[in-house]
Amino acid sequence: MLSDPMTVKKLFVVLWVLVLATASSRVRAQSCSVLGQTPATAFPVCGSNVFVQDSVPECDNGSLVVPNCAVGPGQPSYSALNPYWYKFTCFSSGTLGLLISPNNAGDDYDWQLYDVTGQPLNAIYTNVSLVIAADWSGVTGNTGTSSTASNLIECGSTATSSPPPFSKMPNLIQGHNYLLLISHFSGSGQSGYQLSFGGGTASITDTTQPAVAKVNAICQSLLGVTLNKKMACSSLTATGSEFAITPAIPGVQIIGAVTNTCNTGFDMDSITLTLSGNLPTGIYSLAVQTGSDGNTLLDICSTPIPVGQSVQFAVLPPQPTPVAGLAPPGCSPDFVKVIFNGPTPIRCSSIAADGSDFSLAGSTPVSVVGASAICDSLGMTDTVVVQLSAAIKTMGSYQLSLKTGDDGNTLLNYCGISTAAITVPFNTADTVSAAAYNVKVLYGCTQDTVIYSYPTIDEINQWQWLMDGTNQSRLQDPPRRIYGANGTETVSLSVSNGVCSDSASGVVTLDNFSKTQFEAPMIICPKDYATLINNSSGNWIMTWNWTFGDGTTSDQKDPADHLFPPTGEETKYTVVLVTTDSIGCTDTAKQVIDVLKSCYIAVPGAFTPNGDGVNDYLYPLNALKAENLQFRVYNRWGQMVFETTDWLKRWDGTIGGHPAPAGAYAWTLSYVDGETGKRIVQKGTSILIR
């Protein structure tokens, strides 16, 4: 047993084992299997009774999430160690008073309360919003809720803190269902506790007077009893001694009572009574009496059904249980569910496992290969699953026939009456394929039109299109979509014929876009060839038409280097490339090439920066083939007023953004001749004229 649970509870949570440096270790408990120790088998409790738990079997019910008490990000907080679970319903809204009193004041009990209304019970392990109150204090002794407490949630203790063992009373909502966990942290040597509810304003006590609501003669020797609310399983004897039949029939007595829920829980709302013989046809009453255990049936609050309450029922001549029909077979069915209608269920033992009680005829050669059922504790069922030799994937008409099987009978009900042979028709639907949609693209020069459609097949009557993630349509043929002539369109489609469904998705690539472009030198020397590099893009380009501006053309995609004719003057030529694609769309690119008069490098002796477009700048002319060029300009005092290494960057006659005075300016020019590799250095003066 742990010596100091108040100081080790948080350590237990983090390490997930019960190990202490100052106390002996204990192996983690096994998974819980005893009734009451799992949420699904919780004890039903009542606000007016004290619930006594004499002992607590050791087990671990799994990790829990406690609001604001997590060990780490995304990690569970605590373990439901040595638990018992309790369930109740709120019948009047208010606060909940709760007290857990250990029989041994040194025991440490923790608890957590969930609102599970409309939720699956396993959601308590993941949905933290279901928790409405909890106390995981390491303080031993009494724990529960108190009107003077401050917090609805108290986390586990650490070595330096001791959260109070009582939490604030939570508010309950009328009609909501709740689940209470009580966990015993102290470990072995448990002596149990008492659970009571008091001090709050909510009511968790059902004040409805317990009663028998209805009695039905399933057959002459079997009665079905329906109760008006949940009753305690422990108040029913195995012999059904709480009931008597009037008028009494010699040789016919109640000899057994069973329920479908008491083997997995603690409450019931229906009972099946077995008689020692058959009741003759007639009207009877089932009366409530004190059973051999000293009471009638008791509800959760131990309120008894009054002695003498009786309910009439009729015993009719034995009747076969008819076939009510077939469950809809669904898409591509490989089985058929046969539904039986009537108060008397079918004996599972009368169902031939090889399916010989049934035969199938129809549109495709599919046969019956087996039959089975989900049977209750009495070995009864109202549904038989007939297994087929193959799935039916096409639309068709079929007939399922019930007949005498290899076991020598058709199906028998509980009373031993054979169900009459019958043939039941059913239809199947075609399977469907969403991928059967059609795509047509109307290509254009600047935009494309995409047309989607779906054929009329397989009885499909529902379409759900989604294009480019946002555009939706429920039409068989959605509206046309307009796109630029380059890119992709995504589409997804779901189809259904009301029975079968399918989904598909795809991408339409629009690649008819073309872009015409080329590279060419902007300036060349006379007698130099111009290299033209075609950078046009597009998968559909079919023809290229070059015009060079000098009267010559080419239809080659990549024309040969071009030599422009000499004119003796600087001449500008406009080179044009026109492309045409396979659907007749054209695109054009242009560039001007300046063919210089000569490539002799010289610096003008004068310039006039007056903005008239003539001789406005000072720079080395025709330095197209100069490499490592450096050009500098100095005023009369030897101060440098301009410098460049790019011959196309020219001095505009300003200094610091202001016009320089007219007069003579010295310059130096240094470069390497690109053809000879020779270093050239020149000096001179130029006159700035204003």
CATH of the domain at 282: 2.60.40.1220
Query: In the predicted model, what is the mean pLDDT of residues 582-604?
Result: 94
Quick one: 27 exposed, middle or buried, by C-beta within 10 A (0-12, 13-18, 19+)?
Answer: exposed
Rounded CA-CA distance 534/184 in Å is 83
- 263 with 239, same domain: the answer is yes
pLDDT of residue 274: 94
Q: Write down the mean pLDDT value for the chain.
A: 90
Q: Which residue type is seen at 219?
A: C
Looking at residue 29, its pLDDT comes to: 56
pLDDT at 461: 96
- On whether both 502 and 525 belong to a single domain, the answer is no
More confidently predicted of 484 and 314: 314
Residue 365 φ/ψ, nearest 5 degrees: -80, 65
- Structural tokens at position 350: 């009368």
- Whether 600 is in a domain gets the answer no
Q: What share of the chain is helix, strand, coil (3-state, %, to 5)?
A: 5, 45, 50
Using the CB atoms, write b or e for 124-151: b if 16+ within 10 Å. Answer: bbeeeebbbbbbbbbbbeebbbbeebee
pLDDT score at 15: 37
The answer on 669 and 545 residing in a single domain is no
Q: What is the mean pLDDT of residues 510-519?
A: 92
Q: Are residues 52 and 156 in the same domain?
A: yes
- Residue 32 sits in which domain range? 5-196
Asked if residue 624 is part of any domain, the answer here is: yes
User: Band of the pLDDT at 23, cuts 50, 70, 90?
Assistant: very low
pLDDT level of residue 30 (50, 70, 90 thresholds): confident
Within this chain, do residues 14 and 138 fall inside the same structural domain, yes or no?
yes
DSSP E strands: which ranges in 160-281?
166-168, 171-172, 177-184, 193-196, 212-219, 222-232, 243-246, 254-258, 267-275
User: Is residue 533 classed exposed, middle or buried when 0-12, 13-18 and 19+ CB atoms within 10 A define those classes?
Assistant: exposed
Report yes or no on 652 lying in a domain: yes
Q: State whether 529 and 500 are in the same domain.
A: no
Residue 201 lies in a domain: no
DSSP code string of 475-513? SSSPPPEEEESSEEEEEEEEEE-SS-EEEEEEEEEE---
Q: Is residue 470 part of a domain?
A: yes
Helices (H) and strands (E) in the chain, counts: 1, 54
224 and 370 within one domain: no
Within a domain: residue 207? no
**Per-residue pLDDT at 17 exceeds 50:** no
Same domain, 610 and 639: yes
- Encoding tokens for residue 481? 């979509």
pLDDT band at 496 (very low <50, low <70, confident <90, very high): very high
pLDDT for 73 equals 56
Mean pLDDT of 603-632: 94
Query: What pLDDT score does 185 carry?
Result: 79
Residue 480 CA to residue 474 CA, distance in Å, equals 13
User: Which among 287, 315, 343 is the end of a domain?
Assistant: 315
CA–CA distance, 413 with 352 (Å, rounded to integer): 14
Is the pLDDT reported for residue 191 higher than 90? no
27 confidence band (pLDDT: 50, 70, 90): very low
Q: What is the pLDDT of residue 415?
A: 87
* Single-letter amino acid code for the residue at 267: D
Domain with 179 in it: what CATH number? 2.60.120.380
* Rounded average pLDDT over 362-373: 95
pLDDT digits (tens, 9 = 90+) for 216-247: 998 899 999 999 999 999 999 999 999 999 99
Residue 656 above 60 pLDDT?
yes
Asked whether the whole model's pTM tops 0.75, one would answer no
Residue 594's pLDDT band (cuts 50, 70, 90): very high
Pick the last residue of a domain from 269, 294, 315: 315
Check residue 11 and give its pLDDT. Answer: 38
Count of all residues that appear for the chain in the document: 690
Do 68 and 152 sit in the same domain of this protein?
Answer: yes
| Residues 54 and 191 placed together within one structural domain of the fold | yes
pLDDT of residue 119 exceeding 90, the answer is yes
- Stretch 171-199: mean pLDDT: 89
Residue 110 lies in a domain: yes
Q: Judge whether 654 lies within some domain.
A: yes
The answer to whether the beta carbons of residues 331 and 359 sit under 8 Å apart is no
Query: What confidence tier does 121 reach under pLDDT thresholds 50, 70, 90?
Result: very high
Q: Both 472 and 525 in a single domain? A: no
- Count the domains in the chain: 6
Last residue of a domain, one of 315, 341, 357: 315
Same domain, 269 and 228: yes
